[in-house]
A and B are shown apart, each in its own frame.
Chain A
């Protein structure tokens, strides 16, 4: 039974403090191969911090973070990052590079040959429904939705084992947002990759997630699928959070 656990991420009693205030407070979290895990919770509860710990941008004050059974360390963090695709909250595209240059920056740094790069870009553009003609635009010449697709392509360029997305749809208007939600779900299912996605929108979480992880003040309050959160909430906070997020009618419908 212990042998069967092929976790991509394994966080054990991880804590991170800022100025005496715990941003992450004793978190245990295991993320299995091929799972889509959505981190959710109110603003400031530590979602981004948790993601940054996983990608090694910050190191925990205590506890340990294992990525594919290995702790993140100074020596191997760079090669580990090549197996993760991380997209920060607002995309983080480099404004001085075109979409194509952004996507291929790392591959070129790793001296991939041109035909391989070209092939990969075509695959990714097809996957994310990004128009080839727009590849030579600079970030400031693209729409918000296009920028998110480019960020996603950049994260996927090296075909990583896991995607880490911090509120990828946060800044988009509702129409584009719902379009992208559909596309993301499609992409996740086609790739079959492990995904850790941050959102503060419960409907989006329910739509995309295999497992929802609800955070509050740096701790994991409950994890599971939406029905289990609704039917057997771990505490009052869970109910309150769901209440606030969903229309009252839906909640009543679910409860009856």
Chain B
């Protein structure tokens, strides 16, 4: 009885010590410099709003990370709900039509209540309605006499180019087509920025756009009137996590200043500065804060060199961690596959199937799969899911080449090793793996090159790397930015290839290279 009591006391003591040890650090740090992670979507306006939020939060003493240009509403919403980010700019229309699709959400209060059930709060609307609009070349519209969406009914030959989001969403093309009884059949999905270029080049006639898009004036486009009032309102708001009010009250108060402070003209103007005048988002955001609130914030605009260095570090991190993991897992899997034919077929089958999953789908799938692991510090956006995806993608060439390398060893050689009386382990390490090494290394080399290319997609989920300037470059139609990502990525792939060939020369026995020569 004494012993039990003692034990209970002891464990309580341990817990108390643990809490006492961690609690002050966490709370003290958080109270002075609360960490705030801001997210933004991969279009300019969202990035600008994300920058405004970040600068304000920093101004109020927050220690801020801005996960820029994340790929898609779901990615951000999930990240917000599971706590990977604390806040991000969103549109009420998107919430209704995409997140809560199928649940008839009434007025703004109803929307707030629904958000609260997910632990999410919504700011006051910022003051502009960035609704969907359909636009076309102004000249062509005038020639055809088109001013409103209903007019399109008389021109079935016109070609549409839509973002894939618009093709699928509740208020998008399917319902637009039904509401206006549109006859057009030539409809294709493409990236928003590519749509503008296709429209300018005459590849398509009509496209979806946002009411505050900077390109509307740049490309001299006409926005068709929504005469049947089909599109819902897309009020810009900030979504943030419940806990933020307690954890970072001062920061939140500062950020919520944005409520009611940006109208459509202002937003379009800032968008145009960034997209057309090449002003960095952070600069444009800072200028707005100074004019509107008289708040001076420091902006660090990254130099090309600094960005190259940062993206290189990020990219190398993604590649090295994931590739090492695939090597450490892939080679043993390949060995096992070669020793147990049944299991081997299964292993090769599974890693083969993983390879066929489209890259983006795999990323999103992994973000979902990693969500339960958030309790052990695994993040569901950023480097963690990207590394997991890269790991899986690199596995196939390594496993398969280890397997084929080992299976390709002539039976007499394997039997000679056995007949010598070497242990199984010594046969593997001293005979089989060295003989399979050229094939095995070729597999690792292939994996490395694939991995380096594929890692550029990590930027879509906030993992950074060379994909980031590529994404931004596509968004801003800035070739130089695209090249700042694409060239180093290609260079890294070539470098990796060269290094592997050098490495091969040092580790593969000359006796084997003789055979390769003749």
Show the binding face of A for B, using Cβ within 8 Å.
52, 55, 57, 78-82, 84, 86, 88-90, 92-98, 105-106, 109, 138-141, 154
**Contact (A89, B511) CB under 8 Å given A81-B419, A82-B421, A109-B422:** no
Q: Which residues of A contact B508 (CB under 8 A)?
A: 96
Instruction: Indicate which residue in B415, B418, B426, B435 contacts A96 across the interface (CB closer than 8 Å).
Output: B435
Q: Which residue of B lies closest to A96 (CB)?
A: B509
Show the binding face of B for A, using Cβ within 8 Å.
412-413, 415-423, 426, 430-431, 434-435, 437, 508-512, 514-515, 518
CB distance from A19 to the nearest CB of B (A): 17
Sample of 11 A–B contacts (CB below 8 Å): A57-B419, A79-B421, A92-B415, A92-B416, A94-B413, A94-B417, A94-B511, A95-B511, A96-B508, A138-B510, A140-B518
The answer to whether A96 touches B420, judged by C-beta atoms less than 8 angstroms apart, is: no
Could you tell me the distance between the alpha carbons of A92 and B421 in the complex, rounded to whole angstroms?
14
Known: A57-B418, A92-B413, A94-B417. 4 other contacts (CB 8 A): A57-B419, A94-B413, A95-B511, A96-B511
CB distance from B423 to the nearest CB of A (A): 7
**Contact (A88, B420) CB under 8 Å given A94-B435, A97-B509:** no
**Contact (A140, B515) CB under 8 Å given A78-B423, A106-B422, A109-B430:** yes
CB distance from A206 to the nearest CB of B (A): 28
**Contact (A140, B426) CB under 8 Å given A81-B420, A92-B416, A105-B420:** no
**Contact (A86, B419) CB under 8 Å given A94-B413, A138-B511:** yes
Top 10 closest pairs, chain A to chain B, by CB? A92-B416, A138-B511, A81-B421, A96-B509, A86-B419, A140-B514, A82-B421, A96-B511, A96-B434, A78-B421
CB distance from A69 to the nearest CB of B (A): 19
Could you tell me the distance between the alpha carbons of A139 and B434 in the complex, rounded to whole angstroms?
15
Could you tell me the distance between the alpha carbons of A109 and B514 in the complex, rounded to whole angstroms?
26
Instruction: Indicate which residue in A57, A95, A138 contacts B415 across the interface (CB closer than 8 Å).
Output: A57
Could you tell me the distance between the alpha carbons of A105 and B422 in the complex, rounded to whole angstroms?
9
Could you tell me the distance between the alpha carbons of A138 and B515 in the complex, rounded to whole angstroms?
10
Q: Which residues of B contact A138 (CB under 8 A)?
A: 509-511, 514
CB distance from A90 to the nearest CB of B (A): 6
Q: Which residues of B contact A140 (CB under 8 A)?
A: 511, 514-515, 518
The answer to whether B421 touches A89, judged by C-beta atoms less than 8 angstroms apart, is: no
Q: Which residue of B lies closest to A52 (CB)?
A: B415
Could you tell me the distance between the alpha carbons of A235 and B437 in the complex, rounded to whole angstroms?
53
The answer to whether A88 touches B419, judged by C-beta atoms less than 8 angstroms apart, is: yes
**Which of A52, A80, A82, A140 has the most B CB atoms < 10 Å from its CB?**
A140
The answer to whether A94 touches B431, judged by C-beta atoms less than 8 angstroms apart, is: yes
The answer to whether B435 touches A95, judged by C-beta atoms less than 8 angstroms apart, is: yes
**Contact (A88, B421) CB under 8 Å given A95-B515, A97-B511:** no
Q: Which residues of A contact B420 (CB under 8 A)?
A: 81, 86, 105-106, 154
Q: Which residue of B lies closest to A164 (CB)?
A: B419
Could you tell me the distance between the alpha carbons of A154 and B431 in the complex, rounded to whole angstroms?
15
Q: Which residue of B lies closest to A78 (CB)?
A: B421
Q: Which residue of B lies closest to A92 (CB)?
A: B416
Q: Which residues of B contact A88 (CB under 8 A)?
A: 412, 415-416, 419
Q: Which residues of B contact A89 (CB under 8 A)?
A: 412
CB distance from B299 to the nearest CB of A (A): 59
The answer to whether A105 touches B430, judged by C-beta atoms less than 8 angstroms apart, is: yes
Could you tell me the distance between the alpha carbons of A98 and B508 in the complex, rounded to whole angstroms?
13
The answer to whether A141 touches B421, judged by C-beta atoms less than 8 angstroms apart, is: no
Q: Which residues of B contact A92 (CB under 8 A)?
A: 412-413, 415-416
Q: Which residue of A lies closest to B434 (CB)?
A: A96
Instruction: Indicate which residue in B426, B431, B511, B518 contacts A98 across the interface (CB closer than 8 Å).
Output: B511
Could you tell me the distance between the alpha carbons of A139 and B514 in the complex, rounded to whole angstroms?
10
Could you tell me the distance between the alpha carbons of A240 and B415 in the complex, rounded to whole angstroms?
34
CB distance from A86 to the nearest CB of B (A): 4
